[in-house]
Amino acid sequence: MKVVIVGGVAGGATAAARIRRLDEQAEIIVFERSGFISYANCGLPYYIGDVITNKDALTLQTPESFFSRFRVVMKVRHEVTSIDTERKMVAVINLDTGERFEESYDKLILSPGAKPTQPAVPGVGLEKVFTLRTVEDTFRIKEFVQEKQSRSAVIAGGGFIGLELAENLRELGMDVTIVQRPKQLMNPFDRDMASLIHAEMRKHGVKLALGCTVEGFAERADGVDVLLKGQDPLHADFAVLAIGVTPDTQLAKDAGLELGLKGGIVVNDRMETSEPDVYAVGDAVQVRHFVTGQNAIISLAGPANRQGRIAADNICGGDSRYGGSQGSAVVKVFDMTAACTGINEANAAKAGIAADSVVLSPMSHAGYYPGGKVMTMKVVFEKESFRLLGAQIVGYEGVDKRIDVLATAIHAGMKAHELKDLDLAYAPPYSSAKDPVNMAGFMADNIRSGVLKQWHLADVDDLPHDGSATLLDTRTVSEFSRGHLDGFINIPVDELRDRLDELDSAKPVYVICQSGLRSYIACRILAGNGFDCRNFSGGFRFYSAVKEDRLLVEQATPCGMDRE
């Protein structure tokens, strides 16, 4: 059996190694357009920022090491230009010599990945406007920064690569601005949770131009102007386009393969395309979203590697199936960590799913053990069934651990209230006896059983200020004096039982505290005395962080540029 693989990074390299492990006799040839194989896309910004100092560390394998171990022929700087599915041949060009030739195959795997999205605006392709996708891209940016002694950069795009690159350039001492058309960074997060990411970026000196649209680039002798709609241009030494990626599927399109969402290659759960003996994996394929069941393009290394393994299994006579992607991801944001899995509330609404959520601010480990830090968790679930839909966490220690537990729970089909039953490891330096994931489950279970009623950020503007309800803040007097919501009265929770006569039991009570815990206790006191009580999800700490961010965005210059 002869297998030809187009693309030698995540999915392609994984497939090649797996085929060899299953079939020692197979002939395996990989054509990779770039000069590197099996490289770590996610590590590229950290080489630019000198966190990774050895450029050889970016590549997990070389063509020589791959051949030595797996007897797989890795041909770098070779581009497949066309596929003849009837003759089972691919046309190839050696990019170094210009030589053209054909290669036959019995089985073909397409793993071309994705390319940086290039908007149709003037100036794309200028010398001082970069993209970051390959090792070569990384070297170009690194060399430019060093040779020109660059002191400023504008990054168009506030996704994973944009944030990581902004952090690394800032750590080099550069002036960095992120331009993002949506009014938030990191679209996998709900806007309220993204507020916490914004605060950390601003804290470290990154300027945010949220709600801004890039209309083009103009090169100047001393740098580049980034042209913005309704805003004066931003000037910097260079700019980086990081607005997302697009499936690189022109080859598949020309070969007549069925394409779907955003031009992604349509595959079944065996990673088979519409043409016999042709498989496709990685960022170029359309997948089923594990939570919504809808078609999706999810460009992440983990799914690409698993898909490569599945295609290899099936080529070698197995029957492996891909169950879908749920978008689990984590990103370093200076001193913080932000992570997500599944879908957020905004995407649940787009998918037509009625969702609810709990927001909590637990400590990373036992409060009595030194060094614990607060994290903010948002767990999203379906209203009627309580099926887990997604989660977002922003914090310091232990974020990655909790998001992985929640990702596993989603994959297992667990209900939100069943999180309370998970038997998770506990020792004071690592967690609490009631782990944050358990706490989210307790809250969901209280909602399901009717013990807890909530009100959310979206309800703040619609609170009844006409006297038909009681608005109650149960923090201490000193906390209340430092800031509170308009119209709220202050009765500290520890005084509440003795001051119930100050409240009208005929009126519903909307309660808030700093994190949501004391107000929940207050609600139980009130409910036990005949009151109808609703607890604010997230607490005043969460509310104030979101409000501050929205004021900075909405009341800034026309497109949301942070003021100096």
Enzyme catalytic residues: 42
**Token duo for residue 438:** 């358990």
- CA 511 to chain centroid, in Å, comes to 32
Nearest-angstrom CA–CA distance, 564 and 561: 9
Nearest-angstrom CA–CA distance, 488 and 475: 11
Q: For 518, what's the count of Cα atoms within 13 Å in the CB-facing half-sphere?
A: 20
The torsion angles phi and psi of 561, rounded to 5 degrees, stand at -70, 130
Q: What is the 3-state secondary structure (H, E, C) of 196-244?
A: HHHHHHHHCCCEEEECCCEEEEEEECCEEEEEECCEEEEEECEEEECCC
**Token duo for residue 217:** 């680039």
How many other CB atoms are there within 10 angstroms of residue 537's CB atom? Answer: 26
In Å, the largest CA–CA distance within the chain is 90
Contact 240, 126 (CB under 8 A): no
528 beta partners: none
Contact 207, 553 (CB under 8 A): no
Contact 259, 253 (CB under 8 A): yes
Residue 39, SS3 per DSSP = strand
**Token duo for residue 499:** 């001051």
